[in-house]
A = this chain, B = another copy of it.
Amino acid sequence: MARVDRHGDVAAGAATKQELRVGRVTEEAKTRRRSTKAEQRAETMEQILDEAELLFSRHGLHGVTLKDVAKRVGVHHTLLNYYFEDKKKLFDAVFARRAVVTSTKRMQALDEYDRASGGKPTIEGALHAFLDTDLDLYIHGGEGWKNYGALGAQVANTPEWGAELMDSHFDPVVLRLIELLKKAMPDCAEEDIFWGYHFVTGALMVTLARTGRIDKLSGGVCKSEDFEAIKARMASFMAAGFRQICKKA
């Protein structure tokens, strides 16, 4: 197999394996000291998660085989069973890895904003804390985060087990956001606030999906990848929406 062993030597007899697009060890790794077992384990698992994330985000849980993932990593497919037991658990691990990060960061951002605003949050402020923290991750986090975003968008629209996964990871942050929104709009019916959040999350999810549809539709005026444009508009757009449906009371 065209893979590279842990000493950094290329395995012999490794003729035709272009499909090993990624490879486990890059040139720089050759020079790097051989790592310990624990490091090795962590590194391999990360690589598996990365490639799985990429493929799952494009083809969905059922559209990817363990062999597809293994081939990209450059390992035998049964290694994925070794590390992650089965396919669904691998998927969950992929999702969880970054979900905890974004969840935690947003929770912190909301807490901080709450404090900074002296308990007098605005709708815009709360939405900015919630959205921008997330969007920054996708903007500055590299390919992995982008892929994770697309994966999340799929999960959010999967009736089968999607809600379950979302719930388990994001309920606390979302409820915290709702709390701030309630503070900002004390006279607004709870119902309206929840529906408003529903719109927000929907808009965020299509954004993360980056299907490229808006590009063609707008004739190039808007770009799917342009999360900065979203960041510049979304919070105020949604805040105005909240104000509108809440004032009718």
Contacts and interface: CB of A to CB of B under 8 A. Distances in A.
Interface stretch (A112-120, A134-142, A186-194): A186-194
Interface stretch (A18-26, A56-64, A71-79): A56-64
Interface string A172-203: 00110000000000000011101111110111
A154 interface: yes
A41 to B, nearest CB: 31
Contact of A206 (B160, B194, B198, B212): B198
Interface stretch (A6-14, A28-36, A93-101, A238-246): A238-246
Given A194-B218, A204-B202, A205-B202, A211 B241 contact: no
A90 to B, nearest CB: 16
Q: How many monomers of this protein are in the complex? A: 2
B209 A160 contact: no
A45 interface: no
Interface residues of A, number: 64
Contact of A158 (B196, B198, B201, B211): B211
A80 interface: no
Given A194-B221, A205-B157, A233 B214 contact: no
A167 interface: yes
Interface string A220-249: 011000000110011011111111110010
A190 B219 CA distance: 11
Contacts of A17: none
A70 interface: no
Contacts of A62: 59-63
A217 interface: yes
A89 interface: no
B159 A150 contact: yes
B160 A58 contact: yes
Interface of A: 57-63, 150, 153-154, 156-160, 162-163, 166-167, 171, 174-175, 190-192, 194-199, 201-207, 209-214, 216-218, 221-222, 229-230, 233-234, 236-245, 248
8 contacts: A162-B213, A167-B213, A167-B217, A195-B229, A197-B217, A198-B206, A199-B238, A236-B245
